[in-house]
Amino acid sequence: MFSIAIIFVTLLIPSIESSKPTLKLTFTPDEKYYQPDNQVEILCELINPTDLTESPQLWHVDLKTGKHTPISRSLLNRPTEDSLDYFKQIKKPRLEYVKKNHLRIRQIMNEDTARYECNCPDCEESLGKQARDLQVVQTSELKWQVGPGWPIQEHATITIKCTADNFYPYVSHKILRNHHDITSKGKATLPTTNTYPQTFSWEDSVTPSADWHNTTLRCTVTQGNHEKHAIKVLNVIFTPRFLTCSDKQTVNSSKEKSTIECSYAGNPKPTLTWARQTDDKSITTDTGITIKEIDEHHGKYKSIVTFERDKLIAIPLTTTTRAPGAPTDATPQAKVVADNYYQQLLNGGFIAKLFIDNEQKAAQKIHIVKDASQARSNSLGGSAQRLVQNFSTSMVIVLLFTILRYMMQNN
């Protein structure tokens, strides 16, 4: 019997609680953000009323002033002097009083953005209130501002700024540089009010290097349920330079094909030319030689020279070229000794030159070696080689001094 009573009470309590009067505020359709020109119905209801409960009340709350206005038929038909301008200026067909506490808004506009509340001010028992914002989305395009100056100069400090005006509502933002999130690196100015219109800006001071050339800035601002984007590709001016162009490169003259190459960069794009060291004569795509240029993007390029052994061996030997290091005014000119034209070409070495508007900006002499170990042994720059040589000499002196001191002590 006791168990039956427990079960009965357990079933009865939820039933009693569910039958208590409660307020319900409904938007139809039920959406978080509403698009302009659509329609919405707003209904304030009292669920499970009793003989003692009063009627609920639907309120319009102005987001700017916080003023509460009870929705009634007379308000829509004959707004008073102290009514909000919204009710005095709105066209009547857009707002329809369906019935008590039931409002229909046609052709929604930005000015319809507001908060609606549902309560029962005259109810004997406090039922609290239900509240919800009617947010009408208004989007606007984003803009990038980069300066001062365009194109950008390498190592010059500039400001990058993304802005958006006259939109609603702001939800979030993100700034990317080549898919890397840099949002936290800049300063964002967010909307200070939850009303239309809103403005947004994000900016940062940066000092671009050559690596910034052709990088993409992407600004994303979520406006309501819409994501708006702005993209800016940076154009950074920087001087021509070699990236990798070893002064000793390996060519196996016994192979059918061999290559030498140089990687370089610059904006505007520099022109790379190849020449023989022996007479400074340009090398172009010709019999047995193919020059290919590869655009590696972001202002970086690679030039590859391919030698075809059989075709170059078939070319008659040149006897008037001078050897590397021979005086340019020597008469007659010293020739490069070789068994065939291909070997003569390799023994003479090459020069890679970078030009902008026919003005030489950089050059790199290239000597050909027979195997990779020779190229690696000379891969250090001149200053690094001198450092190693000086260190080795110092170690030898220290070692000799130690041996001499040891011999003197034993004598």
Task: Kindly report, residue by residue over 245-283, the tens digit of the pLDDT.
Answer: 999 999 999 999 999 999 999 999 999 999 999 999 999
Is 70 exceeded by the pLDDT of residue 327?
Answer: no
- Kindly indicate the confidence band of residue 198, based on its pLDDT and cuts at 50, 70 and 90: very high
Q: Which residue has the higher pLDDT, 53 or 258?
A: 258
Contact of 175 with 202, CB cutoff 8 Å:
yes
Kindly state the percentage of the chain with pLDDT values over 90.
Answer: 73
- Write down the residue that tokens 């009710």 correspond to: 87
Contact of 177 with 146, CB cutoff 8 Å:
no
d(CA 137, CA 196): 9
Is 50 exceeded by the pLDDT of residue 175?
Answer: yes
The pLDDT of 136-149, averaged and rounded, is 97
- The torsion angles phi and psi of 126, rounded to 5 degrees, stand at -65, 125
Is 90 exceeded by the pLDDT of residue 92?
Answer: no
The letter for the amino acid at 403 is I
Contact of 360 with 353, CB cutoff 8 Å:
yes
The pLDDT of 55-84, averaged and rounded, is 95
Identify the pLDDT of residue 336: 65
Q: Which residue has the higher pLDDT, 337 or 232?
A: 232
Identify the pLDDT of residue 173: 98
Token couple for 155: 């190592």
Identify the pLDDT of residue 78: 92
- Kindly indicate the confidence band of residue 19, based on its pLDDT and cuts at 50, 70 and 90: confident
Kindly provide the b/e burial profile for residues 62-84, where b requires at least 16 CB atoms within 10 angstroms of the residue's own CB: bbeeeeebebeeebeeebeeeeb
Identify the pLDDT of residue 14: 46
Residue of 342, 338, 312 lying closest to 323 (CA atoms): 338
d(CA 235, CA 237): 7
Is 60 exceeded by the pLDDT of residue 158?
Answer: yes
- Kindly indicate the confidence band of residue 3, based on its pLDDT and cuts at 50, 70 and 90: low
d(CA 402, CA 395): 11
- Residue 406 neighbours by CB under 8 Å, 6+ apart: none
Identify the pLDDT of residue 123: 87
Q: Which residue has the higher pLDDT, 86 or 319?
A: 86
At residue 352, the 3 state secondary structure works out as: strand
d(CA 112, CA 34): 10
- Kindly indicate the confidence band of residue 91, based on its pLDDT and cuts at 50, 70 and 90: confident
Q: What's the pTM?
A: 0.75
Domains located in the chain, CATH noted: 21-134 (2.60.40.10), 142-234 (2.60.40.10), 239-385 (2.60.40.10)
- Write down the residue that tokens 């030489």 correspond to: 360
Could you tell me which residues are beta bridge partners of residue 223?
A: 170, 226
- Residue 387 neighbours by CB under 8 Å, 6+ apart: none
Residues making up the chain, counted from first to last: 411
Using CB atoms within 10 Å of the CB of residue 113, give its burial: 0 to 12 exposed, 13 to 18 middle, 19+ buried.
Answer: buried
- Kindly indicate the confidence band of residue 53, based on its pLDDT and cuts at 50, 70 and 90: confident
How much is the mean pLDDT over the chain? 87
Identify the pLDDT of residue 31: 96
Is 90 exceeded by the pLDDT of residue 335?
Answer: no
Residue 339, by phi and psi: left (phi above 0), alpha (psi -120 to 50) or beta?
alpha
Residue of 121, 112, 138, 126 lying closest to 27 (CA atoms): 112
The angle subtended at Cα 83 by Cα 79 and Cα 86, nearest 5°, is 90
State the DSSP H helix or E strand holding residue 389, giving kind and residue range, or none if neither: helix 382-410
- Residue 205 neighbours by CB under 8 Å, 6+ apart: 157, 158, 159
d(CA 223, CA 196): 12
